Amino acid sequence: MAFNIVFFGPPAAGKGTQAKIIEEKYGYVQLSTGDMLRTQAAAGTDLGVMARDIMNQGKLVPDEVVIGMIEHCMDNLEQPAGYIFDGFPRTVAQAEALDAMLAKRGQKIDLVMELQVDEDQLIKRVEKRAKEEGRLDDNIEAMKTRFAQYRDYAAKVLPYYRAQGDVPAVDGMRPIDEVTMQIEAVLGVNQAA
């Protein structure tokens, strides 16, 4: 029986890194709408060109676009141990559409995990690196915008999931392997590690 997970968390929390580790170890498939959009943008498709503008402005791509991409993947992939949704859903409409897509397949979201980070500390890290490397960092403002965007949509989507059950938190400030161990503990796998 498939076990589907949502990795919820701000930019730079390591969602993608952790999703790839869990994918590799346990046969899940990571579905990252951000990665899919970047692939489309790099390929210069109509959708990609449209998405790139929106992404550059730090806005959300329309619901029907990302929902369509996720559905397309689920229709075309062999059923994995479960999906790890990374960067999706970002709106309640996306969360509802995801529930409906999974219900059609006799599945559901089995676990939502929140990767938590200390925003100030992350921003300081980026600033420090920029200084050490002797360059001005224009990413700081972009990063602040992305955090603000995250806070905004998290305030809507997390309550949607919390109304359905526990949303365990994982400390994303720990080293990568420790974060993986926390995730494995939540999943109840590989506990000897």
Sign of CA dihedral 139, 179, 66, 165: negative
To the nearest whole angstrom, how small is the minimum distance from the Cβ of residue 134 to ligand AMP?
Answer: 28
Residues 66 and 95: their CA atoms lie apart, in Å, by 11
Which residue number, 47 or 181, has a Cβ lying nearer to ligand AMP? 47
Which residue number, 3 or 153, has a Cβ lying nearer to ligand AMP? 153
Sign of CA dihedral 159, 160, 164, 165: negative
Contact 135, 192 (CB under 8 A): no
Contact 41, 55 (CB under 8 A): yes
To the nearest whole angstrom, how small is the minimum distance from the Cβ of residue 49 to ligand AMP?
Answer: 14
- For residue 188, the number of C-alpha atoms closer than 13 Å in the C-beta half-sphere is 3
Task: Output the residue with the shortest Cβ distance to ligand AMP.
Answer: 34
To the nearest whole angstrom, how small is the minimum distance from the Cβ of residue 33 to ligand AMP?
Answer: 3
To the nearest whole angstrom, how small is the minimum distance from the Cβ of residue 92 to ligand AMP?
Answer: 12
CA distances from 159 to 92, 130, 165, 167, 193 (A): 9, 36, 10, 10, 32
To the nearest whole angstrom, how small is the minimum distance from the Cβ of residue 70 to ligand AMP?
Answer: 8
Binding residues for ligand AMP (CB under 6 A) = 11, 33-34, 37, 54-55, 59-61, 66, 87-90, 94
Which residue number, 62 or 168, has a Cβ lying nearer to ligand AMP? 62
Residues 4 and 152: their CA atoms lie apart, in Å, by 24
To the nearest whole angstrom, how small is the minimum distance from the Cβ of residue 37 to ligand AMP?
Answer: 5
Which residue number, 34 or 172, has a Cβ lying nearer to ligand AMP? 34
Closest CA to 30 of 81, 67, 85, 68: 85
Which residue number, 55 or 140, has a Cβ lying nearer to ligand AMP? 55
Which residue number, 131 or 159, has a Cβ lying nearer to ligand AMP? 159
